[in-house]
Amino acid sequence: MDFIDQLRVLSARIASTKDIIKTEEATGYALIMPFIQILGYNVFDPLEVTPELVSDVGTKKGEKVDYAILLDGKPIILFECKKSGGDLSLNHAGQLFRYFHVTAARFGVLTNGLVYKFFTDLEQPNKMDETPFFEFDILNFKERDVEELKKFAKAAFDLDTILTTANELKYTTAIQNRLAEWMVNPDEKFVRLVAADLVGTRKFTQAVIDQFTAITRRAFEQLLGGRINERLKSAMATETDPPIDPAVAAAGKADDSIVTTEEEVEGFHIVRAILRGVVEPHRIVMRDAQSYCAILLDDNNRKPICRLLFNNPKKLAVMLFHDKKEGEKVPLESVDGLYQSAEQFKATVLAYVRPAEVKPTALAAT
């Protein structure tokens, strides 16, 4: 399964369980350890991931950091964890600051299992910055966020590469945040800057400042709205593939009685991830109905891959299809049970497509 698909599966699971997790310990086991594992580190190997790393920090004895990722016996990334959804302000990162100062680690992560704030020492050597250079929200991430997160994966981890891009990323994020603030509430200095050539010989009286503050705000709104409309028109003009977003697919049926659940979304991502090595991912489409959730090839009812029977959370099941014939109902203990039917999913899809449509890796496997 691709890195981004593993994150999507975890995201769907966290969305449905985050509200019932009440303690830091539960957050670590249910949310943070799976995240670290997706990065490629073995959370069950204390030589690679050490929980509650203990060290004496100055006059403080027995200080602990929640998790430390190790390389050659030395910590490289430290994790300070708060309970699910907890406050991530700097006054809750005291231990992370102290540990960063006395260990070889160059990266500290403050997280509540939903948001991960990555820190390093760009301002002063061996002293953790007060501003994170990167934030990752497991419930709301974009592909560019995933590309940045990949740099911390075990297979790609390179200290120099991350530090080289961290400085630029930090300032890029800061500028984006400042621009976002000005879009909503442009301050006087910014208004003076953008309006200087427009005011001409008039003085910047309070009335002029008020006038151009309102104009600047409207200009931002119109510029952003125009860019969005251009992108939508472009997408509508060039879109030829069926939708892959399950929420879009479900909404497109114009039936308010159909509710797409988190389990169905997670199941869809699992099936699509399994089939990435067989056909292009965009061909795997979700179409929800009242009694089941269908996963189809090419959004074609004549090419069913499976049906997710998830309406009863206590009795999950999947309908498998053999040689395009009537389906076979298979009970599941959990959504993860779909992995046990991976070969059946692949066989079903291979029965629908021509050899030329199959990815070379899938042909080699057969």
Report the C-alpha gap between 124 and 148 in whole angstroms: 23
Average pLDDT over residues 174-194: 80
pLDDT score of 240 more than 60: no
Give pLDDT, residue 239: 47
Count up the domains in the chain and report the number: 3
β-pair partners for 321: 327
pTM above 0.75, yes or no: no
Same-domain check for residues 83 and 26? yes
Same-domain check for residues 163 and 31? yes
Same-domain check for residues 16 and 144? yes
Domain around 218: 185-238
Which tens digits make up the pLDDT trace of 15-70?
Answer: 988 889 888 899 999 999 999 999 999 999 999 998 887 665 554 555 677 899 99
Same-domain check for residues 288 and 162? no
Report the C-alpha gap between 211 and 194 in whole angstroms: 13
pLDDT score of 235 more than 60: no
Taking Cα atoms as reference points, which of 106, 48, 49 lies closest to residue 81?
A: 49
Report the C-alpha gap between 365 and 98 in whole angstroms: 50
Taking Cα atoms as reference points, which of 216, 352, 343, 230 lies closest to residue 284?
A: 352
pLDDT score of 295 more than 90: yes
Average pLDDT over residues 292-300: 90
Ramachandran class of 230: left when φ > 0, alpha when ψ lies in -120 to 50, beta otherwise = alpha
246 — pLDDT class (breaks 50, 70, 90) = very low
Give pLDDT, residue 228: 67
- Residue with the bigger pLDDT between 346 and 212: it is 346
Same-domain check for residues 41 and 141? yes
Same-domain check for residues 108 and 75? yes
Share of the chain above pLDDT 70, in %: 85
Which tens digits make up the pLDDT trace of 124-140?
Answer: 887 888 888 899 999 98
Same-domain check for residues 85 and 226? no
CATH of the domain at 12: 3.90.1570.30
* HSE-up (13 A, CA, CB side) for residue 55: 21
- Residue with the bigger pLDDT between 145 and 54: it is 145
Give pLDDT, residue 236: 53
Same-domain check for residues 109 and 134? yes
Give pLDDT, residue 237: 57
Same-domain check for residues 269 and 126? no
Same-domain check for residues 348 and 201? no
- The domain boundary, picked from 214, 238, 262, lies at 238
- As given in the structure block, the two tokens for residue 255 are 């039936």
Taking Cα atoms as reference points, which of 48, 82, 50 lies closest to residue 67?
A: 50
345 — pLDDT class (breaks 50, 70, 90) = very high
β-pair partners for 136: 116
Same-domain check for residues 10 and 154? yes
Same-domain check for residues 224 and 317? no
- As given in the structure block, the two tokens for residue 301 are 């009812």
Report the C-alpha gap between 267 and 318 in whole angstroms: 10
